[in-house]
Amino acid sequence: MLNNGTFIANRYEIVGQVGTGGMSDVYKAKDHALGRYVAIKVLKSEFSEDTNFVSKFRTEAQSAAVLEHPNIVNIYDVGSENGIHYIVMEYVEGITLKTYIEKKGQLTYKEALSIAIQVGRGIQAAHAKNIVHRDIKPQNIIISKDGKVKVTDFGIARATTSTQTISTSVMGSVHYTSPEQARGGVVDQKSDLYSIGITMYEMITGHVPFDGDSTVSVALKHLQEEITSPAEEVPNIPYSLECIIMKCTQKNPGRRYPDCASLLMDLKRSLVEPDGDFVVLGAGTGAETDRTMVMSTEELERIQGSRYDDEYDDDDEYDDDDDYDYDDDNDYDNRRRSQKDRRKKNDVNPDTKRIMKILMIVSGVVIALLILFLVGNAAGFFKGAGLSSKTEKMVTVPDVRGMTFEDAQAELKKKDLGIKKADKEEASNEYEKGEIKSQNPGKGKKVKKNSTVTVVISSGEAAKKVTVPNVVNRSEAEAERMLQDAGLKVTKGEAVYDDTIEMGNVVSSTPGSGEQVDEGTSVQLIISKGKDPEKDKVEVPSLLNMTADQAAAALEELGLKGSPKEEYAGGTAGTVVTQETEAGTKVKKGTTIKYTVTLGSKTEWSTIPSDVIGMEKNTAVKVLTEAGFVPVYGGEDYSDTPVGTIYSVTPSAGTKVEKGTQVYYFVSKGSSSGQTDPENGGDNE
């Protein structure tokens, strides 16, 4: 453990420990070269001599160094000093997702989706670089104070060009590890998706799906036991999120999402359609799931509702893979169909179905004959055949429009017809109030005697029709005036952003321009708020570790301006070491982004003071230190200078050397006069 105040690489000052893991400790440190706080991961001392652990530690740095993404903790520096192996990272002020879950117990589905989307984006960026994290868990996910989510700890990540790796040893956190990783099999991007699914499960329920007394027991559960649906514990979980979690955590990798992009698509859709039925459980892509399954006659009859009562065991016929249980996957499909009431009720015996079909045909024929008879009888086709003993007299309906109800009643009575008012009166510009506006049956229609004619009474003059004027792109005040002049009322809807319509002008009206409406109708106006300020904004990229030319090109591509500053700041000369605006921040196009390009380490020179010769020891040490050198005691000897004073320095006084150089000083024991020379047995005189 490092003490506060300890310096690493003469640059990073330890200010406190912020966390610890299985292999390393994490400290908050002050980067005095760039004036910022950083996080430094230091390999624990008990592992620093183990080449295997040192290699894994370096792997993390190598894996994460190529990743630059707003949802991944950035790597700034890596090195070793005095047996201390360290990685310098972005310092994120916040808490781990694990701590957040422990505090809240269960997260809301919107919180879980938001966090999962950000994690998915970070992992998608890693996968794009052919990096498989292999240890995704809430402990390795940091939530900053401003709500940003970042993935960290690529300590056991594996870089590969094929996106697959064979794990010779089971690594990762056993509660979140995929079945294939637990058994030391092929690990690819889908292993990370499984871990994301387990993490989502914990966010929703407050606990992991599998637990046990040992890592072995937990690993075996991942391999052998099915995950209980989170809906059984959290009944109000949106259906789509439940399906997403269950798809991510399929034992068979081929039934999971094919990649992070597909997962992100469903996660985003779940925010909009929480209870949507759009998640499709994968059918698998490998040989182990691409087998053709042939149903026997017995199986088909059983599906259709056969009379066989004996259950069949399909394990012997279909289960030729020891790694995964596809029957459980099918059970899950059935459960999903049941939840959405999609199970077809078609369990009818085939013989019964044939009888029912015949009965339906017979019924159809009978009904058709009956309808034919009724129509024919009404038309008089069967009267000559003795089917009707009485010929009914038909009359012509007169035109009663424009009459009062009483006059129409008298007129219809002459024709042996009745009259009835419609339930509602209707406005009319043709007929006066109280006059008949319309009738049914209409003028000239042939009807039976004693039939009833229904009439609609006019309620008076109808509202005047006016045309809605075109007010689009007019000022709000002008549009109101135009509508009021046309005899229309004005209402306001919620203002919207519009790239083409000036602020304060009308975007649209409802009813729209040219429509015919009643005078006095309300027309709703939508007013423009001008251009959407967010639409023209772009995310500031991370310029760190880019060359000056690369940084300028990256900013120019986004429509941003660069303002580089060169200074000696350590690191690789010609690369960006700091940027004033944090990566991921949204700014307007044309914004100037200030950043620092290092000139490397600046060499400072100084001359060893000549007057240190003859100085008292403590004074000489102080003078050398203030001159920028590191004083080192070289020993004592007899000299002509007084006792306790400096009689010599190395390098010599007056020499110009680099600051920080070690200067050895030698202290006088006084004159050798009167001392015995041990080699000649006498004194030196």
- Which residues are part of the catalytic machinery? 135
List the alpha helices (DSSP H) in 229-349. 239-248, 260-272, 297-303, 315-318, 326-339
Q: Angle at Cα 163 formed by Cα 157 and Cα 164, nearest 5°?
A: 80
Question: What backbone phi and psi angles, to 5 degrees, belong to 371?
Answer: -65, -40
User: DSSP letter at 570?
Assistant: B
Distances (CA, A) of 644 to 301, 647, 662: 109, 9, 20
Q: Are 508 and 472 in contact (CB under 8 A)?
A: yes
Using DSSP's 3-state secondary structure scheme, residue 120 falls into helix
Which residues have CB under 8 Å from 391's CB, separation 6+? Answer: 380, 383
| Distance separating alpha carbons of residues 159 and 141, to the nearest angstrom | 20
Closest of 153, 160, 167 to residue 127, by C-alpha? 160
User: DSSP letter at 435?
Assistant: S
User: CA neighbours within 13 Å on the CB side: how many for 540?
Assistant: 21
Q: 429: burial class by Cβ within 10 Å (0-12, 13-18, 19+)?
A: exposed
Closest of 43, 41, 13, 11 to residue 29, by C-alpha? 13
| Distance separating alpha carbons of residues 36 and 33, to the nearest angstrom | 8
Retrieve residue 73's tokens. Answer: 């903790």
Retrieve residue 461's tokens. Answer: 């003059």
**Long-range contacts, 437-445 (Cβ 8 Å, 24+):** 437/401, 438/401, 439/397, 439/399, 439/400, 439/401, 441/397, 442/397, 443/397, 443/398, 443/399, 443/401, 444/396, 444/397, 444/399, 445/396, 445/397
| Distance separating alpha carbons of residues 585 and 587, to the nearest angstrom | 6
Q: Are 493 and 471 in contact (CB under 8 A)?
A: no
Gyration radius from the chain CA atoms: 44
Q: Are 43 and 56 in contact (CB under 8 A)?
A: no
Name residue, tokens 């005078």: 519
- The side-by-side arrangement of strands in the sheet containing 522-527 is 489-492, 522-527, 506-510
User: DSSP letter at 22?
Assistant: S
Q: Are 593 and 560 in contact (CB under 8 A)?
A: yes
Retrieve residue 482's tokens. Answer: 């135009």
User: CA neighbours within 13 Å on the CB side: how many for 411?
Assistant: 16
561-567 vs 592-598, strand pairing mode: parallel
Retrieve residue 413's tokens. Answer: 């009575």
Q: Are 196 and 248 in contact (CB under 8 A)?
A: yes
Retrieve residue 57's tokens. Answer: 């530690």
Q: Mutual orientation of helices 189-205 and 97-104 as an angle, nearest 10°?
A: 20
Using DSSP's 3-state secondary structure scheme, residue 309 falls into coil
Using DSSP's 3-state secondary structure scheme, residue 139 falls into helix
